[in-house]
Structure 1
Amino acid sequence: MKTLVTAAAPTCDSARTLLNRGQALTAAGAGLLLLAAAALLGPGATALALTAAASVLYVLVISFKVLLSRGGDRSRVMSFSAGELPPYAELPVYTVLVPLHREGRVLAGLLDRLAALDYPTDRRQILLLIEEDDEETRRALPAELPQGFETVLIPPSHPRTKPKACNVGLTHARGEFCVIYDAEDQPEPRQLRKAVAAFRSSPRWMVCVQAELQYWNPWTNWLTRCFAAEYAQNFGQFLHGLDRFRLPIPLGGTSNHFRTDALRDLGAWDPYNVTEDADLGMRIARRGWSVRMMESVTLEEANCRLGNWLRQRSRWIKGYCQTWLVHMRSPAQLWRDLGPRGFAAFHLTMGFSTLTTLLNPIFWAMTVLYFIAGSDPIAGLFPGPVLYVAALSFVAGNLLLMHGYMAGCLERGLHAAVRTMLFVPLYWALMSVAAYKAVWQLLRPSRRHFWELTEHGLVKSH
């Protein structure tokens, strides 16, 4: 077993600091401007302007998601048949990083699945990244690991996050390419060989390929059906649309394959960002490099318990907020790095979509109030044009997003889940609960970088 301590990422491009000085001054200035507007124009006029802006924002976010999802149908993702895969003799060393924490329940099955990868064992370096004080996982390790497996111990130091463990693992990586798998993952056996084919057939500036994620237990309950439909829409449509138009792709937390030298050149993962994958996707785009989607599936376990799902989702939303704040420390530089299209896509993917999730309960409450008390209580906020835009985004937008989930279910063969999507607005309401929890944690320094563990092994694997 090996132990190594790594240095923290530079504060300037890390989520270690919530706001830099410029962002703090901008936030204070915006608050003062809002107070001044309320004093000069009146609270009603100020609220009306905010409502109109929020309605336009809704239309932009929903239109972006719908257009990209439709465009994803014509995306040419990287695909390789068995005959196009490189022969075993030409395969390089490949490093598999497997961050683990309290995963004793699923470790035995994970080792079997990774050992079944279709790759020469003498060129397959599988690093099990385990916290030194994680007695549960260490006790579950077999007395002798299969060939190609190694254990790397992670010192118990702040922050205790998955990206910190991956950074430690990267210092031990010998592979020309590397990939991350989570504890519950079931990657397609040929996925490593497909990734090698993708890299060998692409220019050097294509530094990452993202495999598609699906859930193997969509039928456990209503929550897993909605979760599976969401993944079907995201990985099967939306990310394909980003790939087609060469827009920045926020990576998934697993099954992203890298050129190891490029990953090191980027500074690897930010240990303080709890969605280090999405942040890394943005940093790749800002460098002028690219991420491509690959036709290969990794199966995961969908959360079937509400508390477990809320912990996981609030961490994702918190990380998206961290990523947006980090990259917005210099908006002018971000514009130059990504260009106008990439700049707009970044905001619509990372920042504005989270804001609409936070605003949803407010607009839903207004809708309920309208049906109960009529239009008088909210008439001042919704004059003619604003009402039309808000109604359009509420009715047409929700129906279009619901249709996208249904289309994703049909493409994945989840036909019985299609009718479940009639109640998917309840799932979106749960997202809003998670979003408010995420913001609350983000504002508390003691919880800002806290990694809420997702419990795996709740459902017996198929």
Structure 2
Amino acid sequence: MTVTRAETPVTLSPELSASKLLSRGQAIGGAAVVLAVAVLLTLSATVGFGPSPLWWGQFAVAAVTVVYVAVIAFKLAMVFRAGGAPVLRFEPDDLRAIPDTDLATYTILVPLYREASVLPYLVGRLSALDYPPDKVQILLLIEEDDTETRSALEAMELAAQFEVVLIPDSAPKTKPKACNVGLTRAVGEFCVIYDAEDRPEPDQLRKAALAFRLLPERVVCVQAELHYWNPWTNWLTRCFAAEYATNFSLSLRGLDRHRLAIPLGGTSNHFRVDALRELGGWDPYNVTEDADLGIRIARRGWDVRMMVSVTEEEANSRLGNWVRQRSRWIKGYIQTWLVHSRHPLRVWRELGTKRAVAMHLTLGFSTFTTLVNPFFWALFVSYLITGPRYLEPFFPRLSLYAGLATMILGNVLMCYCLMNGCMERGLHRAVRAMLTVPLYWGLMSVAAYKAVFQLLRPSKRHFWELTEHGLVSHES
């Protein structure tokens, strides 16, 4: 086992980094809009000039309804259009088309932090990958202050392809920073990220290597599917597994079919190393560095393709652990959306209209609906208790009918999508649990507000909340 220390390279342009929450233009523009609305409301209240507060309320309700309709329609379109996606599929015989001697070298990046309990399982799975050992470099990326994991590694006998890389103990302490350090040590033509609890299919590297051999150079990333190996632990894991099944087996395939920007999963994304370095690696300040990298790939004019090969992960079975993980994901989605909204016209030119709209619907508007859900649920409960007297002025007939249709039909259709995801992945026993999934969406709103509060606190803005693994037996 080799232990090395490395420094983090700084190669990403500051304007593409989430090191700052808002750009100067965003801060000035946002302040100007808030000031303008405040002035108009003041003038209306004092001298009767301009739109009334009631008009502003009606406008807000109508605007939010439009966003809801757009987001739901987009999600439904991606799910129901997934069937014709040209997803990469390989049979076992296909994988022998490239002799072992001609296979490209591969680097596996494994960022670890306080994962001593799962190390034996991780090392065993990585050692069992069906790829020539002399063509694989496995970099275990360990934080310098993580004495627990370092001690566990010292007690293990690792094969020659394993190398321990110590990550400098400096801010920000994030997974993407560790991956950037690993990228400086990578010797492979291709690389992939695996998390501590991952169970990749043994032939996944061969599939990705063959995919890159067959695909044009502009395809710089191949994303495998992520699914959970413990969906039956409890209600939370059933919902989580259904969500992942719908996302990776349907939604992302729909994005692939229409060549839209794909927000990558946090693991099992295979890259051309030279392209990854040209992109500047990962943003160390973005806590969903995977989604951000997917957008940057699209902005460069390159492509991501989906591949049929499954990596199994452990679904969070404890509520607090789930909220911490989900709030980090939502925080990162907001960061990513803000970064790629700094220069709207430039992004529109680079992505094109279809991709740019899809990016906003996927990252920004979808998160916005998660944040406003509690307000509309509260309005609905208020209507049931007090009747229409107080709320009717804010809901003109068109907004009322559109809102009711969105709430009822939209929820039913989204539940149906999750049921489809369950059927696609053979999670038949989880289908009934989807009838209660609005409760799961309520938990998402809790996580979303936690994410917003952290973004507003500079000390928590780039804080990486650790997800605890090993909560369920690895023999499950």
Match of 1:349 among 362, 369, 373: 362
Task: Name the residue aligned to 2:47.
Answer: none
1:299 counterpart letter in structure 2: E
Does residue 48 (structure 1) correspond to residue 61 (structure 2)? The answer is: no
Q: 1:96·1:126 contact (CA, 8 Å) conserved in 2?
A: yes
How many residues matched?
A: 462
Task: Name the residue aligned to 1:310.
Answer: 323
Does residue 13 (structure 1) correspond to residue 16 (structure 2)? The answer is: yes
Match of 1:28 among 24, 28, 31: 31
What is the distance in 1 between the residues matched to 2:132 and 2:449? Answer: 47
1:435 counterpart letter in structure 2: A
Task: Name the residue aligned to 1:227.
Answer: 240
Residue 136 (structure 1) shift: 1.2
Task: Name the residue aligned to 2:296.
Answer: 283
What is the distance in 2 between the residues matched to 1:401 and 1:34? Answer: 35
Task: Name the residue aligned to 2:397.
Answer: 384
1:80 counterpart letter in structure 2: F
Residue 75 (structure 1) shift: 1.1
Task: Name the residue aligned to 2:452.
Answer: 439
Does residue 203 (structure 1) correspond to residue 216 (structure 2)? The answer is: yes
Match of 2:145 among 133, 151, 157: 133
Does residue 259 (structure 1) correspond to residue 272 (structure 2)? The answer is: yes
Alignment of 1:27-426 (within 5 A): 27-38=30-41, 39=44, 40-85=50-95, 86-141=98-153, 142-426=155-439
What is the distance in 1 between the residues matched to 2:287 and 2:197? Answer: 19
1:93 counterpart letter in structure 2: T
Residue 128 (structure 1) shift: 0.2
1:4 counterpart letter in structure 2: A
Q: With structure 1 as the length reference, what TM-score do the two structures score?
A: 0.99
Q: Which moved more, 1:207-216 or 1:375-384?
A: 375-384
1:186 counterpart letter in structure 2: R
Q: 1:104·1:136 contact (CA, 8 Å) conserved in 2?
A: yes
1:407 counterpart letter in structure 2: N
Q: 1:96·1:125 contact (CA, 8 Å) conserved in 2?
A: yes
Runs of 4+ residues deviating >3 angstroms: 7-10
What is the distance in 1 between the residues matched to 2:109 and 2:305? Answer: 20
What is the distance in 2 between the residues matched to 1:237 and 1:196? Answer: 24
Q: 1:94·1:177 contact (CA, 8 Å) conserved in 2?
A: yes
SS of residue in 2 equivalent to 1:254: coil
SS of residue in 1 equivalent to 2:166: strand
1:133 counterpart letter in structure 2: D
Q: 2:279·2:296 contact (CA, 8 Å) conserved in 1?
A: yes
Deviations 1:391-415 (A, max 9, x none): 1111111111000000111111111
Residue 340 (structure 1) shift: 0.4
Task: Name the residue aligned to 2:5.
Answer: 3
The percentage of aligned residue pairs carrying the same residue is: 62
Q: With structure 2 as the length reference, what TM-score do the two structures score?
A: 0.96
SS of residue in 2 equivalent to 1:302: coil
Residue 34 (structure 1) shift: 2.1
Deviations 1:259-282 (A, max 9, x none): 000000000000000000000000
Residue 92 (structure 1) shift: 1.3
What is the distance in 2 between the residues matched to 1:174 and 1:22? Answer: 40
Structure 2 residues not aligned, in runs of 5+: 45-49
What is the distance in 1 between the residues matched to 2:6 and 2:124? Answer: 27
Residue 44 (structure 1) shift: 1.3
Indicate the RMSD between aligned Cα atoms, in angstroms: 0.8
SS of residue in 1 equivalent to 2:414: helix
Q: 1:108·1:140 contact (CA, 8 Å) conserved in 2?
A: no
